[in-house]
Structure 1
Amino acid sequence: MHYLEGIWERSWLTNNGPLVQQLESSLSEQLNGAQVQFTSNGTIALQIAIKALGLTGEIITTPFSYVATTTAILWENCEPVFVDIEDRTFCIDADKIEAAITPQTSAILATHVYGFPCDVHKIEQIARRHNLKVIYDGAHAFGVNYHGKPLLTYGDISTCSFHATKLFHTTEGGAIVVQDPSLSEKIWLYKSFGHRGDDYFSLGVNGKNSEFHAAMGLCNLPRVPDFIEARCKVAELYQQELAGLPLRFPAMPDELEYNYAYFPIVLESEAQMFKVKDALAAEQINTRRYFYPSLNLLPYHTGAACPVSEDIALRVLSLPFYQELEPEQVQRICHIIRASCA
């Protein structure tokens, strides 16, 4: 309410207002001084990132992500080339990337799935050898540190989603994170119709966000450490209550400070996944097939076979997971899952 009162008093509702600038500055501080552009959502962030890097031709990407990762590539008239995932974190298998590179390849666009990091060091080495750009879809990665630095600071560009379902949110929103100030200026213009005042410099779209969304972000940002701490406890209880069942969790890499963005489980079969999902739904407990389908099987754009992604996508289920989830609720959910797996 305090922030809203200020917005009304200033009558400055959008167009790079003081709260947007304050949020970008605060996010930059959290990300070791990286340049941060606050956008209207995480999808436009991906689209602007592709445009700003001048990508053409083929972009190597993951089939195990939200559909926006693939559709952003297609929307920018590039060709997604799918590389299968590895079986531990469900991120793109860096060992398989090089075989997919062709003379038409311009970039690698990989997703930090559920906030678990891609093999950023191996991907960086591959990109350097082949003169490729690297974009990370970090929609789940806010608050994650890997090898002692924010995960969102790896790559040429990282994008983030601040949708209301995310650990840190601005109701609707997203961000583009870069290290290069000149690239950041280019992105600012691209998200602002390509002009400052009456001076026009480039093409652009409306990727800006409002003072109201920034206000929500400024309220949530100081609470992120508390959110992560609470979610860690929920995750530990889930793991304790589900121990011994015929299911598994993604593996957490070493040197990772995790944000506990989601709690996915992988069942033994798709039939077992549906059994658990339906049993929970019967008790008005919502779950999500996150991610399904494997994106190489989309009806409007198919790609090469990705057997690991296709298999995991059939069996994965994301359970209710948020910081206010009470221990009794977790135990009830796990009791239903345990009965379904009997």
Structure 2
Amino acid sequence: MSINILQRTPVFVTKPYLPPLDEVLPYLEDIWSSKIITNNGPFVLELEAQLKQLFEVSGCSVMNNGTSALVIPLLTLPRGSEVITTPFTFAATVHSISMLGLKPVFADIDPDYFGLNVQSVEDAITPNTSAILAVHTYGTPCDVEGLADVARRHGLKLIYDAAHAFGVQYKGRSLLRYGDICTLSFHATKSFNTFEGGAVITPSTEAEKHINLLRNFGIQGENDIPEVGFNGKMSEFNAALGLVQLKHFETARAMRRNVHDWYVDALSDTPEITLISQRPDTQPNYSYFPILINKDCRQSRDEIFAAMGEQGVVARRYFAPLLSDAKPYRDLKSAIRELLPVANDIGARVLCLPIYPDLTCELRKRVVHSLKEALRAAPQ
């Protein structure tokens, strides 16, 4: 009976890592005692200080969520200007551009690591372009050198949506040290979570002060409101959880790596799929396990996804639909499929398998079994 129950229990694509409750309770007692629950309290300040040290950066402003972290840097761009970005991302990336009256312009992605293709970005630049908003997809670094060169030559701000990239290092230093600004998400699904939260990483204390102004309604003092902003502040509760989570991050990363390596061993001889490689010189956080369904596979990605779901394995088609196919953006000139051949190809074939720190060997076997059964089933 226990085996049948296990087989009926869904295996979700991710599950949040939570620290021992008894480590969190003392922080809650301090909050109840101090009655400080928001407005840059001591736990928020301590979390920012620890993250600056971890990432070796000068500026870190924690936020109430990852979307706020994206929106606030975009507030600094000229209204109506164009921002070049990727269609192969979560909706928040492009929505953050659009909701501020900026114009998203899509560029294609590279076929190996799924970041923005540098030549496609350069081809998309116009006199109205103000910034590049690139995404470190699945935590894999973009071509940071190539994008930096394009941004420098054209006088553009280079912003990285690094929602997937907490703890990732590239060429021996934090990936968050590349670009003009990086943004993080601390959502429950991420490799580091504060239930909800995010951060803006900046290269200087002056830039940090500006971000802090914008996340506080644009209010600088009791009688001074120099800019338009909104409430992007993180609560003391979320910051307290973050301080505890930081103590466990490397342990959780090692557990994720164990799952990742197990999958690689179990799937390396599966001809119907391609395993995705990391960019060289990268220390990943193992927060995603994407595969590509090969073009000669007898089943489509969507058929495989559905068949796995029928067996209780909840994979995810990250990222489908492409944002260039979504209703708010499909009529943009840059959304034409012929301009985005790689994004459309990858978007139709990618599938992310379940991965989280305490994914047991028994559940991993269910995932692999369901995938292989779906790959080899007779076409519908």
TM-score range, shorter chain: over 0.9
Contact 2:315 2:352 in 1 (8 A): yes
**2:147 — aligned with what?**
123
**2:208 — aligned with what?**
184
Match of 2:245 among 220, 228, 233: 220
**2:369 — aligned with what?**
335
**2:262 — aligned with what?**
237
Answer yes or no: is 1:36 the counterpart of 2:60: yes
Q: Which amino acid aligns with 1:216?
A: L
- Please show how residues 255-334 of structure 1 align to structure 2 within 5 Å: 255-268=281-294, 271-302=299-330, 303-305=335-337, 306-334=340-368
Deviation at 1:34, TM superposition (A): 2.8
Unaligned runs of 5+ in 1: none
Counterpart Cα distance in 2 of 1:53 and 1:300: 21
Contact 1:52 1:190 in 2 (8 A): no
Q: Which moved more, 1:119-128 or 1:277-286?
A: 277-286
Q: Which moved more, 1:204-213 or 1:263-272?
A: 263-272
Q: Which amino acid aligns with 2:246?
A: L
Contact 2:305 2:315 in 1 (8 A): yes
- Please show how residues 8-23 of structure 1 align to structure 2 within 5 Å: 8-23=32-47
Query: If the length of structure 2 is used for normalisation, what is the TM-score?
Result: 0.87
1:92-115 per-residue CA deviation (whole Å, 9 max, x = no partner) reads 111221111111111110000000
**2:167 — aligned with what?**
143
Q: Which amino acid aligns with 1:208?
A: K
**1:249 — aligned with what?**
275
**1:58 — aligned with what?**
82
Contact 1:293 1:310 in 2 (8 A): no
Answer yes or no: is 1:208 the counterpart of 2:233: yes
Q: Which moved more, 1:224-233 or 1:301-310?
A: 301-310
Q: Which moved more, 1:228-237 or 1:272-281?
A: 272-281
Counterpart Cα distance in 1 of 2:64 and 2:360: 32
**1:167 — aligned with what?**
191
Unaligned runs of 5+ in 2: 1-24
Contact 1:34 1:153 in 2 (8 A): no
Which secondary structure does the structure 2 equivalent of 1:261 belong to? coil
The alignment covers a number of residue pairs equal to 342
Deviation at 1:189, TM superposition (A): 0.8
Contact 1:52 1:186 in 2 (8 A): no
Contact 1:135 1:155 in 2 (8 A): yes
Answer 1 or 2: higher relative contact order, Cα 8 Å, separation at least 6: 2
Deviation at 1:56, TM superposition (A): 4.5
Q: Share of identical aligned residues, percent? A: 40
Counterpart Cα distance in 2 of 1:251 and 1:308: 17
Which secondary structure does the structure 2 equivalent of 1:195 belong to? coil
Moved over 4 A (4+): 53-56
Q: Which amino acid aligns with 2:353?
A: L
Change (3 A) 1:54 1:6: farther
Which secondary structure does the structure 2 equivalent of 1:60 belong to? strand
Which secondary structure does the structure 2 equivalent of 1:254 belong to? coil
Q: Which moved more, 1:263-272 or 1:114-123?
A: 263-272
Counterpart Cα distance in 2 of 1:96 and 1:325: 38
Which secondary structure does the structure 2 equivalent of 1:29 belong to? helix
Q: Which amino acid aligns with 2:105?
A: V
1:254-284 per-residue CA deviation (whole Å, 9 max, x = no partner) reads 1111111111111135943233322322232
Which structure has the larger Rg over C-alpha atoms?
Answer: 2
1:217-239 per-residue CA deviation (whole Å, 9 max, x = no partner) reads 11111211111111111001111
Match of 1:134 among 141, 147, 158: 158
Which secondary structure does the structure 2 equivalent of 1:296 belong to? helix
Q: Which moved more, 1:77-86 or 1:274-283?
A: 274-283
Contact 1:90 1:250 in 2 (8 A): no
Q: Which moved more, 1:300-309 or 1:271-280?
A: 271-280
Which secondary structure does the structure 2 equivalent of 1:103 belong to? coil
Which secondary structure does the structure 2 equivalent of 1:114 belong to? helix
